[in-house]
Structure 1
Amino acid sequence: MNKLRSKELKRIARQNLTGNYQNMMGGFLLIVLISFVIDLPFSMLLDTVYATTAQKIMYYVAEILISLIMSVLQIGLIHMHIMLINRKPVRATDVFFCIKNHSDRFFGGAILYFVFSTIAQAPMIIARIFIGFSYEKIMTDIALIATSAILMIILSLTLPLYYYVLITNEQLSVFKCLTKAVSLMKGNILRLIYIELSFIGMFVLGILSLGIGFLWIEPYYQQTITCMYMEITGKLPDPDTDPVFDQYV
């Protein structure tokens, strides 16, 4: 079976989003706002010269918990994109799906991914906290940061579909979802890189718009990656032949 080119995946993504952008943007905006609101008090707690050790510990623990909550909401957003492809109506509040349904599974999955992410960032954390950035230790700092960068790239190229597998394979444990996600990327890494590169121009425009442009860019990008996942697993409907689905009002 021939793989769809990124241009075709993006065309399908745009077609799927037609008439649905408002709900998908709403889900993304909800995540951004929730992250800002719950993170602000702890950021203010640390952003002071007089922050105590206990306050700093509280801050970092809070940041970990917030990160896990955001990850579960992100899985909910992925759920919305999969629903969109499957011609099911979506609402912005569907972003809370994973909080309301089997939250233990999704938090477990988020924790597992967080562990791998922390391992990948460990060299950089060591350079920042335990060694400290200084001219005398610049070569050590560069080596540790480069190691983290390589590990993060490997992680992003081998596990980009982990949350997709987690939410579409309820019969699999979080660990088996991890191994399946890795296997799905075999033969698809270069295609993922090409898709990522094709969005660079849009990402730059999003930054230049002070982030406002990402309200349009993020749903388009996420839907394209979702289309790739559905195609890899053989579950991508043909948007030109399948009936149009009703939407929530």
Structure 2
Amino acid sequence: MKRSELKANAKEQLRGNWLWAVGLCFVGGIIASLASSFSIGILGSMVLYGVTYTFLTLADGEKTENIFTAMFSGFTSGKFLPTLLTSLLVNIFISLWILLLVIPGIVKGYSYSMAPYIVKDMAEAGSDIAPTEAITASRKLMDGHKGELFLLDLSFIGWAILATIPFGLGWLWLTPYYQATKANYYRQLAGGQFKKIIEE
């Protein structure tokens, strides 16, 4: 799985969709930040999951035109409870690991990083998702691939530095680029295996 190919796919998917993607990430980020400031961080997490779902939809060749429908997609179509529980448990688990040691917490963050995408695939397949099922599936999926994803993240450092100039405005474009690339990474890694649970 070449990083250059993942990024090229992301750029192609964003062609003609940049303003939509920037608006999605910008408004979603504001809502998530406001939710956290009012001590309802779980709402913010669910909105961010909705943004993640939307970029996976884009990676799969479709697009949710309305950004509000997109960012709140974690609240609809049978995704509410699995999105709520998965986002809550991921936050709790990673926080507990970080309390023990920072590095193990980061490693676990990579282990659980595919959980949102798995929730989307499984929910849309009609599966009943147990509270920790997507987290466990993500941990297994990322076995042997955490370093690979870390290197993919590392490849954005140069862009991240440039994005801070001027006044961090570059992040408006870097965030959709990163989100689209990561969605493509998941789809390449997982394929359609979590979409086929009902059929099997």
The TM tier, using the shorter chain, reads 0.7 to 0.9
**Partners of 1:214 and 1:153 in 2: how far apart?**
22
Q: How does 1:73-112 map to 2 (within 5 A)?
A: 73-91=47-65, 92-93=67-68, 94-101=70-77, 102-112=79-89
* 1:39 CA drift (Å): 4.9
- Max Rg structure: 1
Residue 109 (structure 2) aligns with: 156
Tell me the TM-score normalised to structure 1 length. Answer: 0.69
Residue 216 (structure 1) aligns with: 173
* 1:74 CA drift (Å): 1.1
* 1:36 CA drift (Å): 4.2
Match of 1:17 among 14, 29, 40: 14
How many residue pairs get aligned? The number is 185
For 1:156, the aligned partner's letter is: G
**Partners of 1:105 and 1:186 in 2: how far apart?**
23
For 2:163, the aligned partner's letter is: G
2:143 aligned with 1:205: no
Match of 1:120 among 93, 97, 106: 97
SS in 1 for 2:72: helix
The share of aligned pairs that are identical, in percent, is 22
Tell me the TM-score normalised to structure 2 length. Answer: 0.85
**Partners of 1:231 and 1:116 in 2: how far apart?**
26
* 1:167 CA drift (Å): 1.5
SS in 1 for 2:164: helix
* 1:76 CA drift (Å): 0.6
* 1:187 CA drift (Å): 2.6
Q: Are 1:81 and 1:223, in contact at CA under 8 Å, matched by a contact in 2?
A: yes
Q: 1:36 to 1:179 in 2, by over 3 A?
A: closer
- The gaps in structure 2 that reach 5 residues or longer are 193-200
Cα RMSD of the aligned pairs, angstroms, is: 1.8
1:168-225 deviation digits (Å, cap 9, x = unpaired): 1121323121111011112322221221111001111223332211110011111111
Q: Are 1:23 and 1:90, in contact at CA under 8 Å, matched by a contact in 2?
A: no
